[in-house]
Structure 1
């Protein structure tokens, strides 16, 4: 392997120096979000479970969206006659909690090692991965350079702005990307942008959108029946994955809509349920009645606070109209396909750097309304509440478009297996 360009060597030196300081901040944040202190050391490469014998595929994503987009591929790998162990790493407390519920048997979750030499050395020495699969835009220089196995980038998602930043890195970008054995891009535009950066054409192909290929979120049948019965005669809408600052706009819109629909129910499902107490106080200050899922209450109020994890499949099924947050404030937006797969009429704001292409596809299919601001959210909701047929048509279009996004899972799995070494499997 040729020596890394100077810029990447400088990055590595700074990352190694910064790792202990960065870990302290990350540790405190994870503990504040309910993670046991012992598990935080996983970020330094210290494993907290033993490595199973046999082949092991390491799948890494930043947070919930990236890791869940890998589920179709993970499930297909685990469905094989002699499946490899799947080690999934991510960086956030929420992703750890959700993955614990959604990963199939034979999968392990650990927090991702920091992109520092010591953490990666510990991590690789313990886990001995046979293949490293990075998701979307998780291009970490030292993670790639030190991997003891082939490295793949799946579902590559790079905006024009991100590609422009990579172009400025010149030989450093070419050197790093040349370490990737395979890249599957979500779109031809992303694939061409990566070719322009020096990725060999035979190492990149358009592979569809794995997020859209994921199976619909599950919901407990008894819980869904109970919620649907309680809300049967009430119009309702869902505000999903809201962030700090957005709830005020959502509650203001709901208060305005209640003047026209006195029995309207808002299901409010914040991105981070640990903020629920503060949101509950905010709802009370807005003069709205409230019940909470986390304490076993029913949706009999003006606002139902869905302050639990792992039940988004229930809420998307319960609400025909859904606003997806992270988009009225500069958080970059969130994955729309979970709601689209369940036939929701979708709305979102104008901060969509994380999911712009996904939302564009849904908007072009008349399945979503995008670009909303705090000033226009109420009007958009009012129009859909007044025209249920339009909301149903949007939901049907969303479901149809989602079903067409296969993500090319079978070919991707075949490509991954072809890259894995044969012979005696690693053991711990």
Structure 2
């Protein structure tokens, strides 16, 4: 496809988005009825504000979901220390809740406007951001083009490009170039990611490392932790976290295979807690007794599975064990972030489908802190080995903590890359009268 045709295609996309607004509105109503949209704040998705814009420089951060939100929180705090206001948009109810809990008044939260020209224009007309900082891999054509048209610098941070996304963009090279030329800067997680963005037309591109390594350990309620530790007593534990369809069933099979020998408690934390009813039903069908966090069930000696069916409590679940299988890797593809369990002192097991976190897994595997399994049988053997071999488990844990420590530095590298865009805003913010700056 030629460059001219690509631009024509993107213009058509913008026009189609304007025409499709009423239909998209109906779809949003459907999502609201399903509990996937915040009913009280639904108009934010059409670009209508629900908060006042403060006076002075404003940076717009966008993070799609919980993982991306956690990753950019330290960066948001760095920007706020420079007296620059921040608006953070996210796309999910759970990430909105996380932003409220962890940032409070440090940032204004809004739901991200739909990628339709009327919604994006309405959002930008009101908030008038001086800069847009987007986390990881969120590329929305109408938003990118409208920011470009207004000459608002837009920067990708902690940027990654999965194998699947790269292949998809390569098939539409001209469209990719027409979009990515609007990016003022890409700060990539790894050299591989950086090279892929360059191949697709992004300039300039630098590498920072993964911001998720520089985040604080996920918080937890110490009173709840103490209560569960007392209930668990001297039982051994292992966890299957961020699991996708099929992996909870595999964890149940592993539990049944090991139960007689290891008398363990299995903790399962699904990536999508809304699936918890069907997960529980499937585990009960295997003959297993399930306790659920949302029911505040007691972890009595006859409980087989502790189902962590809440959002934002990974810090609790990981502190209850020293062995973590990280999901979306055995039957689903892409993998999930292994850095949190490594940071919190867990020996890591994973399936082989970890393309989205390849570099992190490579470093953890090289240090001996992560092991890959092919199937459910191999997972059961790995869990049993770590449950019964204290020295091996301890060695993996220590290697993981050391590896995460060595990987730190992405935050300072990202801040340095942002300086040409942030420093002028800092000067402008600090020249404002104090009363105006605090509005």
The TM-score with structure 2 as length reference comes to 0.88
Partner-residue secondary structure (3-state), 2:336: coil
Quick one: structure 1 residues 168 and 20, their matched pair in 2 at CA, closer, same or farther if it must change by over 3 Å?
Answer: same
1:191 paired residue among 194, 197, 215: 194
* 2:274 is the alignment partner of 1:271: no
Query: Separation in 2 of the partners of 1:21 and 1:375?
Result: 48
Residue of 151, 156, 165 corresponding to 1:162: 165
Q: Is the 8 A contact 1:292 1:307 kept in 2?
A: yes
Q: Which moved more, 1:121-130 or 1:20-29?
A: 20-29
Asked if the contact 1:350–1:373 (Cα under 8 Å) also holds between the matched residues in 2, the reply is: no
Deviation at 1:278, TM superposition (A): 2.9
1:175 corresponds, among 173, 178, 190, to 178
Displacement of 1:339 after TM fit? Answer: 1.0
Q: Residue 321 of structure 1 aligns with which residue?
A: 323
Deviation at 1:35, TM superposition (A): 4.5
Provide closer, same or farther for how the CA distance between residues 193 and 272 of structure 1 changes in structure 2, counting only shifts above 3 A.
Answer: closer
Matches within 5 A, 1:187-266: 187-200=190-203, 203-262=204-263, 264-266=264-266
In 1, Cα distance between the equivalents of 2:42 and 2:9? 30
1:167–1:290 Cα change, 3 Å: closer
CA RMSD of aligned residues (A): 2.6
* Equivalent residue runs for 1:314-393 within 5 Å: 314-330=316-332, 332-393=334-395
Q: Deviations over 1:13-64 (max 9, x none)?
A: 3444445434433443354236431323322222222223332211112222
* SS in structure 1 at match of 2:94: helix
Cα distance change, pair 50–297 in 1 and its aligned pair in 2 (3 A): same
Shift of 1:121: 0.8
**Partners of 1:19 and 1:114 within 8 A in 2:** no
Report how far residue 376 of structure 1 moved: 2.9
Displacement after TM superposition at 1:160 (Å)? 4.2
Residue 177 of structure 1 deviates from its aligned partner by 1.6
More helix per residue: 1 or 2? 2
Structure 1 match to 2:64? 62
Aligned 8 A contact 2:258 2:380 in 1: yes
Partner SS for 1:52: coil
**Which runs of no fewer than 5 residues in structure 2 stay unpaired?**
none
Partners of 1:120 and 1:208 lie apart in 2 by 30
Deviation for aligned residue 1:207: 0.8
How many residues of Structure 1 are paired with residues of Structure 2 in the alignment? 422
The answer to whether residue 151 in structure 2 is matched with residue 151 in structure 1 is no
Please give the TM-score of this superposition, normalised by the length of structure 1.
Answer: 0.90
Q: In 1, Cα distance between the equivalents of 2:201 and 2:234? A: 58
Residue of structure 2 equivalent to 1:409: 411
Consecutive unaligned residues of structure 1, counting only runs of 5 or more, are none
Q: Distance in 2 between matches of 1:30 and 1:335?
A: 29
Change (3 A) 1:12 1:265: same
Residue 95 (structure 2) aligns with: 95
The residue that corresponds to 1:295 in the other structure is 295
C-alpha deviation, 1:235, in angstroms: 0.4
Distance 1:410 1:404 in 2: 14
Q: Deviations over 1:44-96 (max 9, x none)?
A: 2222222233322111122222222112211222234x2x2222222223322
Alignment pair present for 1:129 and 2:129? yes
CA contact (8 A) 1:333 1:352 kept: yes
